[in-house]
Amino acid sequence: MATEAQVETCATGQANVSLKKPELLAPAGNLEKLQFAVRYGADAVYIGGQQYGLRAKAGNFSFEDMAKGVDFASRYGAKVYVAANIIAHNEDLQGVKDYFKKLHDIGIDACIVADPALIELGRDAAPDLEMHISTQASITNWKAVQFWAQEGIPRVVLAREVSLEEIREIKRNVDIEIEAFIHGAMCISYSGRCVLSNHMTARDANRGGCAQSCRWPYELYGDKRISVDHDPFTMSSKDLSMVEHLPLLIDAGVDSLKIEGRMKSIHYIATVCNVYRQIIDSYCEDPQNFRLKEEWVDEIWKAAQRSLTTAFYFGDPTEQDQLFGKPEKIPKYDFAALVLDYDPDTQVATLQQRNNFGVGDEVEFFGPNFVRFKQTVKEMWDEENEPLERAPHPMMTVKMKVDQPVHPYDMMRKRK
């Protein structure tokens, strides 16, 4: 993770011009994911509470876990934001003031909101609690950004439908922090304006219940089924990835680079944070000589769940940015084990099993600062030092000979 001194400025490669190094903002669906996001490079994390958020099926945070998360993040110099970005109905307003007051008392750095009612109630309850405007507000132009700036809002999260040139224009016209998505799932509709889930399942996407109906397989019918020569199709987008173009967003003045995925795995969060941390730091250290490393791109694909696209950043998406036909074959990796300890004298690591692995498997260890190596599992023992051939039981403790030193909270992955 970047130190405070490193975060201050980022040269652009232009004479006498510098920018603030952007914040790397990561998702955290529960306390463990928060801790891994911070350890693997996030400057800030966004979480959901048990009310008013749009990820009802994420682990989400009790007030007690929020307090633990704030305490942990503060030790690393990281911030914690809470998403309270539902589109509220009348019955949702009861208890809002108490909720925001509690967030303030816990030490949450900011709330991400979309509904003006929640902004007003939150400000009444906790005037010092910072408010950020959510992507659910679908902000796509500088006048809308200016409106919120005049309302005293310090940051807006842009809609995922804006282009890179539109971001540049916004920054030219309005002095406000801009947050933009750089990685993760894309909504097929303008963010916050989809009612497909409501219609198909009676689950309100704008109140935390999205059933992701756009990702279901569909066939075409008229008076009868229309014969087609391909598999059932989705109405779904490829996932966003700006891994190959991040310097353009930094130069455009984006203040916070946001990763999507509060419901994604620990392996996903650690991998993606690790890559973008390396790119941000490497570019800002020496922008004129920056070169994108192929290993960064390869690493991103190890966490990918779908094909990747740059979405709207370089123009309107085409059919090439949609998931039509048979899906692209993407290598899939399991988070196999977490490193608990390492004995340099014996070169034996103590691991906590997260997915089945055993002798003969090829595995890869990786940790913060992009330290990685591959090896074949040669020898394993249980807690009683009895030989093991496989580690089939979740969370079991395993000892294993490793080829290189490892550290607590390093991870071991295995290709499926």
* Residues near 361 by beta carbon (within 8 Å), at least 6 away in sequence: 376, 377, 414
Q: How far apart are CA 192 and CA 50, in angstroms?
A: 19
Q: How far apart are CA 350 and CA 357, in angstroms?
A: 14
What is the total count of domains within the chain?
2
Domain extent at residue 383: 333-415
Same domain flag for 298 and 385: no
CATH number, position 402: 2.40.30.10
- Do residue 151 and residue 299 come from a single domain? yes
Predicted model pTM? 0.90
Closest CA to 78 of 49, 116, 120, 107: 107
Do 156 and 16 fall into the same domain? yes
In whole angstroms, how far apart are CA 70 and each of 2, 23, 62, 64? 18, 17, 12, 10
**Helices 116-125 and 96-106: angle between axes, nearest 10 degrees:** 60
pLDDT tens-digit profile, the chain (416 residues): 443 333 456 655 443 356 679 999 999 999 999 999 999 999 999 999 987 765 555 568 999 999 999 999 999 999 999 999 888 899 989 999 999 999 999 999 999 999 999 999 999 999 999 999 999 999 999 999 999 999 999 999 999 999 999 999 999 999 999 999 999 998 887 776 778 878 888 887 666 677 778 778 887 776 666 555 566 667 788 999 999 999 999 999 999 999 999 889 999 999 999 999 999 999 999 999 999 999 999 999 999 988 999 999 999 988 888 887 777 788 899 999 999 999 999 999 999 999 999 999 999 999 999 999 999 999 999 999 999 999 999 999 999 999 999 999 999 999 98
In a domain, 213, yes or no: no
Examine the domain organization and report whether 297 and 365 are in the same domain: no
Same-domain pairing of 19 and 75: yes
List Cβ neighbours of 400 (8 Å cut-off, separation of 6 or more).
Answer: 348, 349, 351, 377, 379, 380, 381
Nearest to 261, CA basis, from 415, 58, 113, 20: 58
Residue positions counted in the chain: 416
Contact 212, 197 (CB under 8 A): yes
